[in-house]
Amino acid sequence: MTAVRIAKAEDKKAFYDLWKICFGDSDAFCDWFFRNRFAPDYSVVLETEGKIVSCMQAFPYTLWIRGREIPGAMLCGVSTHPDYRKKGYMGLIFTYEMKLLREKGCLVAPHTPAVLQSYFPFGHFPVADAAYLTCDGMCATKGNVMLTPVTELDSLFPLYTAAAKKYSGMVLRTKEDFLRKAADYAADGGECAAYIRNNEIKGYAFYYKTETELTCVEAVADEKCYPMLMEGLCKEADGLIFSAKLPPEMEIPFAKTERKQKGVMGLCNASALLQALQLELPYAFRLTDAVIPENNGVFNFRGKPSAEAPVFEISAGHLLQVLVGYHSFAEIRNELKIFDEEKYKELDAFLPKQKCYIIDEY
């Protein structure tokens, strides 16, 4: 018999073991993660033959979307034991998880899977890009900026908060969340350094350094200080292969920078999200959602069911791309059914694109 259910605290070992089999992370990281990030009330398992063979985790966060604080949950650890794959289990746990998050009051569910396209069938589409900087090490010895190791991590929190509010889709970390994330990096050997100018912290970076490379997994700086922060990291790399993930609009002159999609998001509760965003838009639209039945119907932009004739029909995933600000209505026009062209053009002008970015992966 196969059954999906909400996880329990006593399932932790089964989650841990499945994570190790599927992702191969270090014992140090897994020990830290399941001590600090395992939230069984937000996670689900699939059992068959009395054994947990597939699972999915989530952790509650507040997201910053179009200048509003939006309750959500970050998905992670979607995994199925190799012996039980290609049986449709992912679809079962995914649908169950999304409905659970809705019941928990989460409006959106972001995540950063390795293969984004795996989640498109569930209506989870890209909502953020990232700029990936790479350097073969030859530039590292040219840097003159020196970074300062950071021990008082609290001092970095205001910089993160200021940066987070510049991007739609970011996790609006509390200080507890921020320090927990710093401890996450440290658990697997991560280090932290800051760029300081006139005795003020202008940027910081969490990074990992091995015998062959330095990888920066989180970099936050005042907008004009990213080049100096990266120059300092290159100096720290001292000839090693160097890479970093940055906000999508960043261009660093001394290294190759490639922009890629990074991060998808699912819509748990369309009506509540529209109400929370407090949009002042006219007209109504028809929404379709194959995962959350309650998201289906004709709504106005205040999130209320409407008897008006809809201007267009849109899927939940594509609506979320527009609400977050990753796409304009015009950019996804081919994904919609337009019933009133003139009114549709009016709506497109009401929801301009936003700067979209997300650092967190779980």
Q: Decide which of 261, 284, 317 is a domain's last residue.
A: 261
pLDDT of residue 145: 86
- Mean pLDDT of the 258-282 span: 96
CATH of the domain at 296: 3.30.1050.10
Would you state the torsion angle of the CA atoms of residues 348, 353, 359, 361, taken in this order, to the nearest 10 degrees?
Answer: 10
Based on the domain organization, do 176 and 296 belong to the same domain? no
Rounded to two decimals, the pTM is 0.94
On whether residue 85 sits in a domain, the answer given is: yes
Please state, in angstroms and rounded to a whole number, the distance separating the CA atoms of residues 120 and 113.
11
**The predicted structure's pLDDT at residue 349:** 85
Decide if pLDDT at 107 tops 80: yes
- Predicted confidence (pLDDT) per residue in 272-291, tens digit: 999 999 998 999 999 999 99
Answer whether residue 82 shows pLDDT above 80: yes
For strands 148-149 and 264-267, give the pairing.
unpaired
Q: Is 356 part of any domain?
A: no
Q: Tens digit of pLDDT for each residue in 22-62? A: 998 899 999 999 999 999 999 999 999 889 999 999 999 99
Same domain as 252, residue 141: yes
pLDDT at 257: 92
d(CA 343, CA 338): 10
In this structure, the answer to whether residues 44 and 153 fall within a common structural domain is no
Which domain, by its residues, includes 205? 130-261
Residue 14, both tokens: 């089964």
Q: Express as a percent the part of the chain with pLDDT over 90.
A: 89
- Residue pair 279/68 in contact by the 8 Å Cβ criterion: no
Same structural domain, 287 and 199: no
Burial of 46-70, coded b for 16+ CB within 10 Å and e otherwise, reads bbeeeebbbbbbbbebbbbbbeeeb
pLDDT (0 to 100) of residue 280: 87
Query: 140 and 257 in one domain?
Result: yes
Q: Give Cα 251 to chain centroid, integer Å.
A: 22
Same domain, 52 and 79: yes
User: What mean pLDDT do residues 52-73 have?
Assistant: 97
**How many C-beta atoms surround the C-beta of residue 163 within 10 A?**
19
In the listed set 209, 226, 261, which residue is the last one of a domain according to the structure? 261
| CA dist., res. 96 & res. 75, Å (int) | 13
pLDDT of 170-227, one tens digit each? 999 999 999 999 999 999 999 999 999 999 999 999 999 999 999 999 999 998 999 9
Average of per-residue pLDDT values in the chain: 94
Residue 96 sits at the vertex; the CA angle it makes with 288 and 176, to the nearest 5 degrees, is 100
44/40 Cα distance (integer angstroms): 7
Q: How confident is the model over 332-353, as pLDDT tens digits?
A: 999 999 999 999 988 888 899 9
75: CB partners within 8 A, 6+ apart: 56, 57, 58, 97, 109, 110, 111, 266
Q: What is the pLDDT of residue 100?
A: 98
State whether 87 and 172 are in the same domain: no
- Residue 113 lies inside a defined structural domain of this protein: no
**Is 358 within the bounds of a domain?**
no
Q: Count the Cβ atoms, other than its own, within 10 Å of residue 328.
A: 15
State the average pLDDT over residues 73-87.
94
- pLDDT computed for residue 306 by the predictor: 97
Specify if 206 maps to a domain: yes
Verify that 62 and 93 share a domain, yes or no.
Answer: yes
Residue 86 lies in a domain: yes
Number of domains in the chain: 3
Asked if residue 179 and residue 137 are part of one domain, the reply reads yes
Going by their DSSP bridges, the two strands 284-288 and 312-315 should be labelled as parallel
- 95 assigned to some structural domain: yes
Pairing status of strand 284-288 against strand 297-300: antiparallel
One domain for residues 177 and 243 = yes
- CATH number for the domain spanning 27: value is 3.40.630.30
Q: Who contacts 147 (Cβ-Cβ below 8 Å, separation ≥6)?
A: 193, 194, 195, 205, 229, 232, 233, 235, 236
Average of per-residue pLDDT across 146-161: 95
Residue 305 CB contacts under 8 Å (≥ 6 apart), including other chains: 271, 297, 298, 299
Confidence category of residue 143, pLDDT binned at 50, 70, 90? low
